[in-house]
Structure 1
Amino acid sequence: MKEVEDPIMILKRLTPSQILVIGFALTILTGTLLLSLPISTESGKSLPFIDALFTSTSAVCVTGLVVVDTATTFSTFGEVVILLLIQIGGLGFMTFGTFFAILVGKKIGFRERLILKEAFNQLNVSGVVRLVLMVLAITLIIEGLGFTFLAIRFVPEWSWGKGLWYALFHSVSAFNNAGFDLFGDMEKFSSLIRYVGDPMVNLTISSLIILGGIGFVVILELAQFCMTKRLSLHSKLVLTMTAFLIFAGTILILGTEWSNPATLGKLSFGDKLLASYFQSVTTRTAGYNTLNIGDMYPAMLFFIILLMFVGASPSSTGGGVKTTTLATILLAVWGMIRGRDNVVAYRRRIPYNQVYKALTVTVAALVLVITITMLLTITEHTDILTSMFETVSAFGTVGLTMGLTPSLSTAGKILIIFTMFAGRLGPMTIAVAIARSLHHQQEPLIRFPEENPLIG
């Protein structure tokens, strides 16, 4: 009779990437079971398993796509579960595990540090525990500030209890780039459309999204900038690309949708500018909207797809292929056009293995997006633009929809669930695995002859 292997020994053989995948899957399963309970719904009836799984995956993967309206479907208990799933998903289950281990005096071993390195997309294990503690402190401070500003706006409108709950929920959801909202009581799946011209709500939510999207490493460097007077190449690339994408998105949305009566057409100039800026910020990974996305012109919808595909930055709460990936590829292309052998930015040379990693992440993401898009056109009998929009929104953990997600078939829901999960973990896991193999595996003893194929 074959002896049953000790589960602890099995865990010890797992790589950090495998542990992260299993950890996120178990978190999603736990959330699914909780959201399936009758106490989690307003009606007191159990939510269908597939809908609970979809909602839990969307929350843990900080996406924001929903097949049932959050406010009208879930009770306060269910909303609290979703909020906890968003916070755990945004910061990572290992972050909270490390924090509780420190509280009880448990030493963080080397293996746990390896998993943290993988989770935060770091190059080495040095300082990862300190990074975790700083991440928790940063999160508490930023979400606390967001809660305060939103409470100033929501309490007078919704009373103390409801206003404070709305402020807390949306502060956590925005900083974690989740995009879940509780305004479906007024109109289902309406997001923040009622606040399209409200500066307090727009600027607070967008600031939370930007801070959550640039990554904790960049926030730490910015906080220390007054003392160090320097920023790493990573931070410079993140800040440059973030500013460029926000500016370009604002201008293009403003110009393209200016006369569209269903979006910007009926707004004043100030509200048009504010709405364009907000949509440019949230489009890359957060999923809130103050404009009716489905009513935008096709050209704008395609541009939004591109922004969603790029997403946020590494070590952040957002998804996508990441801003630094795009920056590295663009710099490599620019260097090739100029006939340069090296990829250079801000007087720093980017190693070739980082360029290969950026290309691998992008190609892997494109293969996933194209495959799921084609399958959705078959299962949902819809056009290619709508299918691609929902797919990229799921992959980039964005949460915007043209209206397809609430009406998905069971097969469509499974496809989007897989895409959200892969989008939250896939590119990061692939990139770290490649970096590790490049750094730790020996070069082959045999080098094959070199030959140039024809390119282009």
Structure 2
Amino acid sequence: MQRKIRLTPVRLLALVYIGIIFLGAVLLVLPFSTKDGLSTSFSDALFTATSATCVTGLIVYDTFEHWTMFGQIVILLLIQTGGIGFMTLVFGIWKIGGKKIGIQARTFMQESVNAPTVGGLVGLSSMILIGTLIFEGAGAFLLSFRFIPDYGWGMGIYISVFTSVSAFCNAGFDLMGINEPFSSLTRYSADPIVTLTVSALIIVGGIGFFVWRDLCQNKLHFKKYSLHTKLVLTTTAILIVVPFLIILCSENSVPWGGERVLTSLFLAVSPRTAGFNTLPLTSLRGSTIAITILLMFIGGSSGSTAGGIKTTTFATLILSMFSLVKRKKSVQCFGRRLDEDSCRHASRFITLFLCIAATGVLAIMLIDGWAGFTDVIFEVFSAIGTVGLSLGITPDLHVASQMILALLMYLGRVGCLTFMLMFKDVSAPTAELPHEAVRIG
């Protein structure tokens, strides 16, 4: 007798993202989505739709040069939907329409934003939508002071909105192909308005919705923040300041001055996990590339628009290591003891993340043997971390390799563990087996 497959919230969430990706791919295949009037191949459209929905930014075509305004708006809508979460949009629409939200929808929302409980999700969804509009609107307003003089009123406002949404959602898509294809924000490397505004949007979008709520409720009273918020803010600050100082002192591709400070700051912020760049990545030193890969691996924070293993996971791992060295029985931080399940979950998630990334690197190297090892590692971590930075090899990769990157982007957005839980039989009985110790280290 066949066992009936249950459509759990985890499976539904994963399937919804697949549906959005395929819908976007179908729209991008249409002839009027491209400027040459010819249909884009379905594999290229699927790759682009995956990158947009998973707020990554890896591309096979320059967004401005290849896609019409219709295609660009499709990409922008996919970015917005993937950034703040499909269920958040649905919650907002339901609330505006006065429709009652049931427990199943709340459970789905809990999975969508990685919330600990279903309580307060309606209020959280409203805060996410309102906050998103405020931050994206403010970002577009500030960017318009630079883009309107450069591109005129209509195009300047359009590029400002597109860039602001893409930055806040940590997507990395841009329309700077109007100047030069695949140039990203290199033209504005010395511009404080563009650099600082985009950096601020990336940081705000990457700290997470739960941190937003805590900041709104407790204002600047750090002691009243939850342990999650304290870890996120502290880890985020360290991951900005330390890489900034290292890059500032070591990266010689830009002479000392204001531009070097701005580019160093941007190189410390963007890899977690936005995908914009103000310097050609191929011109960077190996040490800067290594730092970038590490930042892409860590990513942003839980419940945010960012990817990666998340700042709290990384912080938990580091704290666990210190606890092991000091031979403490528990992991402690900010006068609190971290839950043991959280520590185990962090180590398992990091192991799974690295195993999937290593498999992706091996598979692409087997398919595209011409690609450099460092380049492939960079593209793989950019994909699974939903970053979008590239050393330029993605458009030249075999279709099979591009589909591997697309799968990695999808896994990075829905979560590697979430994807694995799709295949778990929730009705299967569990049994405790005899335990036996093994030597570690």
Query: Which range, TM-score by smaller chain?
Result: over 0.9
Tell me if 1:238 matches 2:232.
yes
Tell me if 1:269 matches 2:262.
no
State the alpha-carbon separation in 1 of the partners of residues 145 and 220 from structure 2: 33
Find the counterpart in structure 1 of residue 299 from structure 2: 311
Find the counterpart in structure 1 of residue 434 from structure 2: 448
State the alpha-carbon separation in 1 of the partners of residues 33 and 406 from structure 2: 21
Find the counterpart in structure 1 of residue 270 from structure 2: 282
Gaps of 5+ in 2: none
State the alpha-carbon separation in 2 of the partners of residues 442 and 50 from structure 1: 41
State the alpha-carbon separation in 1 of the partners of residues 213 and 97 from structure 2: 26
Question: How much has 1:105 moved relative to structure 2?
Answer: 2.5
Question: How much has 1:383 moved relative to structure 2?
Answer: 2.1
Tell me if 1:383 matches 2:372.
yes
Cα shift readout 1:234-279 (whole Å, capped 9, x = no counterpart):
0000001100011111112122212xxxx32xx3421101100011
Cα shift readout 1:204-263 (whole Å, capped 9, x = no counterpart):
0000000000001112211222387611000000001100011111112122212xxxx3
User: Secondary structure in 2 aligned to 1:319?
Assistant: coil
Task: Select which of 196, 199, 223 maps to 1:203.
Answer: 196
Task: Select which of 90, 103, 117 maps to 2:96.
Answer: 103
Distance change in 2, residues 1:69/1:447 (3 Å): closer
State the alpha-carbon separation in 1 of the partners of residues 221 and 281 from structure 2: 43
**Mapping for residues 163-174 of structure 1, pairs under 5 Å:** 163-174=156-167
Find the counterpart in structure 2 of residue 3 from structure 1: none
Question: How much has 1:282 moved relative to structure 2?
Answer: 0.2
Find the counterpart in structure 2 of residue 6 from structure 1: none
Task: Select which of 404, 408, 411 maps to 1:415.
Answer: 404
User: Secondary structure in 1 aligned to 2:22?
Assistant: helix
Cα shift readout 1:112-143 (whole Å, capped 9, x = no counterpart):
11111111111111111111111001101111
Find the counterpart in structure 1 of residue 309 from structure 2: 321
User: Secondary structure in 1 aligned to 2:329?
Assistant: coil
Distance change in 2, residues 1:428/1:195 (3 Å): farther
**Mapping for residues 245-264 of structure 1, pairs under 5 Å:** 245-258=239-252, 263-264=253-254
State the alpha-carbon separation in 2 of the partners of residues 426 and 177 from structure 1: 16
User: Secondary structure in 2 aligned to 1:398?
Assistant: coil
**Mapping for residues 398-437 of structure 1, pairs under 5 Å:** 398-427=387-416, 429=418
State the alpha-carbon separation in 2 of the partners of residues 39 and 165 from structure 1: 19
Tell me if 1:87 matches 2:80.
yes
Distance change in 2, residues 1:179/1:333 (3 Å): same
Tell me if 1:150 matches 2:143.
yes
Checking the alignment, whether the CA contact within 8 Å between 1:376 and 1:387 is kept in structure 2 is yes
Identity of aligned residues (%): 43
Checking the alignment, whether the CA contact within 8 Å between 2:55 and 2:386 is kept in structure 1 is yes
State the alpha-carbon separation in 2 of the partners of residues 79 and 271 from structure 1: 30
Gaps of 5+ in 1: 1-8
State the alpha-carbon separation in 1 of the partners of residues 354 and 96 from structure 2: 42
Distance change in 2, residues 1:432/1:102 (3 Å): farther
Name the amino acid aligned to 1:385. Answer: T
State the alpha-carbon separation in 2 of the partners of residues 143 and 253 from structure 1: 28
Question: How much has 1:427 moved relative to structure 2?
Answer: 3.4
Tell me if 1:26 matches 2:19.
yes
State the alpha-carbon separation in 1 of the partners of residues 285 and 220 from structure 2: 47
Name the amino acid aligned to 1:47. Answer: T
User: Secondary structure in 1 aligned to 2:270?
Assistant: helix
State the alpha-carbon separation in 2 of the partners of residues 32 and 121 from structure 1: 26
Checking the alignment, whether the CA contact within 8 Å between 2:14 and 2:419 is kept in structure 1 is no
**Mapping for residues 41-190 of structure 1, pairs under 5 Å:** 41-190=34-183
State the alpha-carbon separation in 1 of the partners of residues 376 and 150 from structure 2: 38
Checking the alignment, whether the CA contact within 8 Å between 2:60 and 2:395 is kept in structure 1 is yes
Question: How much has 1:102 moved relative to structure 2?
Answer: 2.2
State the alpha-carbon separation in 2 of the partners of residues 201 and 177 from structure 1: 15
State the alpha-carbon separation in 2 of the partners of residues 300 and 212 from structure 1: 24
Cα shift readout 1:310-339 (whole Å, capped 9, x = no counterpart):
001000001000000000011111011001
State the alpha-carbon separation in 1 of the partners of residues 293 and 183 from structure 2: 20
Checking the alignment, whether the CA contact within 8 Å between 1:69 and 1:189 is kept in structure 2 is yes
Checking the alignment, whether the CA contact within 8 Å between 2:56 and 2:171 is kept in structure 1 is yes
TM-score normalised by structure 1 residue count: 0.91
User: Secondary structure in 1 aligned to 2:332?
Assistant: strand
Question: How much has 1:431 moved relative to structure 2?
Answer: 9.6
Moved more, 103-112 or 24-33: 103-112
Question: How much has 1:29 moved relative to structure 2?
Answer: 0.5
Checking the alignment, whether the CA contact within 8 Å between 1:153 and 1:201 is kept in structure 2 is yes
Task: Select which of 272, 278, 283 maps to 1:295.
Answer: 283
Name the amino acid aligned to 1:43. Answer: D
Q: Number of aligned residue pairs: give it.
A: 434
Name the amino acid aligned to 1:117. Answer: Q
Checking the alignment, whether the CA contact within 8 Å between 2:124 and 2:213 is kept in structure 1 is no
Name the amino acid aligned to 2:172. Answer: G
State the alpha-carbon separation in 2 of the partners of residues 233 and 207 from structure 1: 23
Question: How much has 1:59 moved relative to structure 2?
Answer: 0.3
Aligned Cα root-mean-square deviation (Å): 2.1
TM-score normalised by structure 2 residue count: 0.94
Checking the alignment, whether the CA contact within 8 Å between 1:308 and 1:398 is kept in structure 2 is yes
